[in-house]
Structure formats: C-alpha cells, structure tokens
C-alpha cells in the first residue's frame, strides 16, 4: 500500500526562515540551520567539476560573524570562487571543536592549481593568514571527516 506523503507545514518553514533572516546573516545567531551560504553575484566562474572542493577556514566562534561578513562579501563580489558557506550556531555532528566554526570557500576544480591558489591568495588579503586545508568534495561525499578518524585528506595545506 502506498504511504501518503507527509504534509509540509508552510507556517513552520516560514517561521524558521524568518528566524534566520532575523539573525541578519550572523552565523553565530542562527540555530535553525547548519549552514548559511553566499553565491557569486559578479562576473562568471566555471561550473563545478567532479574535482570540485573547498578551502576550510576554521575560526573561533567569537570571530565567525566578522570573518564570514568579509568572505561573504568577497564571494558575492566575484573575488573568490563560485560560492561559500559557514557553519552556524546549530550543533553539527561533524564538528570537531565546539569553540570553532568552519567557513568553506569553494572552487570548481582542485586540479586547477592556478585558480585554487588565486582564491587562497584572496583569503590572505581578507586576513586568513594561518595555514588552512583544501578538501575535495568527493572526500566529503565519501564521509571522510577528521571527527571519524580520517587524517591527511587535504589536497593542499597552506
């Protein structure tokens, strides 16, 4: 027998969306979603390939709103890759350190070293000067996370 589809509570969805908007894009204030994201709004950028990936910028929870504001603006202005996302105040089971949040800055292809390093250089201009890893999306989709015991999965670390 065919199971009826669960009804979507539009009021609940709207309520959750309003809370996120009310947080004014401050990741530390959002508890209803794991991520906030930003998309390139200026210029063109290649579509992701099967070798897409991201720079992982780990920041103290107390600084995440400030760092995210810079990276979000640079992403939208076309200075970084095609998109970026930031972990929010909602507890993520893949998180390792409760005092840190992660900002993912995506590039279309980790094999395009010129583009990957260009994005890294832009992150340095934004103040991300400590060493950060670059992880392929295929490793993420394969479930390779530090919290589950995987190490040295980064394509780059600089």
Domain for residue 117, yes or no?
A: yes
In tens, the pLDDT along 99-139 reads: 899 999 999 999 999 999 999 999 999 999 999 999 988 76
C-alpha distance across the termini of the chain, in Å: 56
Provide the domain limits for residue 35.
27-157
Please report which confidence band the pLDDT of residue 96 belongs to, taking 50, 70 and 90 as the band edges: confident
Tokens describing residue 53: 């990936």
Q: Please determine, for residue 150, whether its predicted confidence score (pLDDT) is greater than 60.
A: no
Domain for residue 18, yes or no?
A: no
Task: Please name which of 131, 113, 126, 134 lies closest in space to residue 53, comparing C-alpha atoms.
Answer: 134
What is the full DSSP assignment across 91-145? Answer: PPTT-S-TTEEEEEEEES-TT-HHHHHHHHHHHHHTT--S--EEEEHHHHHTT--
- Which H/E stretch holds residue 99? none
Gyration radius (Cα) of the chain, Å: 17
- Which H/E stretch holds residue 68? helix 64-76
Number of domains in the chain: 1
Domain for residue 4, yes or no?
A: no
Report the length, in residues, of the chain.
Answer: 158
Domain for residue 17, yes or no?
A: no
Task: Name residue, tokens 């998180």.
Answer: 95
Strand partners of residue 86: 36, 103
Domain for residue 97, yes or no?
A: yes
Please report which confidence band the pLDDT of residue 46 belongs to, taking 50, 70 and 90 as the band edges: very high
Domain for residue 10, yes or no?
A: no
Between 125 and 141, name the one with better pLDDT: 125
Q: How far is CA 62 from CA 26, 67, 128, 131, in A?
A: 11, 10, 15, 19
What CATH number did the domain enclosing 38 receive?
A: 3.30.760.10
What is the model's pLDDT at position 147? 57
Domain for residue 22, yes or no?
A: no
Domain for residue 86, yes or no?
A: yes
Task: Name residue, tokens 């640079």.
Answer: 74
Tokens describing residue 92: 């993520």
């Amino acid at each position: 027998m065919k199971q009826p589809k669960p009804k979507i509570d539009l009021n609940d969805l709207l309520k959750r969306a309003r809370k996120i908007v009310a947080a004014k894009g401050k990741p530390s204030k959002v508890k209803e979603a794991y991520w906030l994201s930003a998309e390139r709004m200026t210029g063109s950028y290649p579509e992701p390939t099967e070798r897409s990936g991201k720079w992982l910028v780990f920041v103290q929870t107390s600084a995440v709103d400030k760092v995210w504001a810079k990276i979000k603006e640079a992403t939208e202005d076309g200075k970084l890759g095609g998109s970026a996302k930031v972990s929010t105040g909602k507890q993520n089971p893949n998180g390792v350190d409760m005092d840190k949040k992660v900002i993912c800055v995506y590039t279309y292809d980790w094999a395009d070293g010129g583009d990957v390093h260009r994005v890294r250089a832009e992150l340095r201009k934004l103040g991300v000067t400590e060493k950060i890893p670059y992880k392929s999306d295929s490793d993420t989709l394969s479930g390779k996370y530090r919290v589950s015991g995987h190490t040295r999965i980064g394509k780059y670390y600089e």
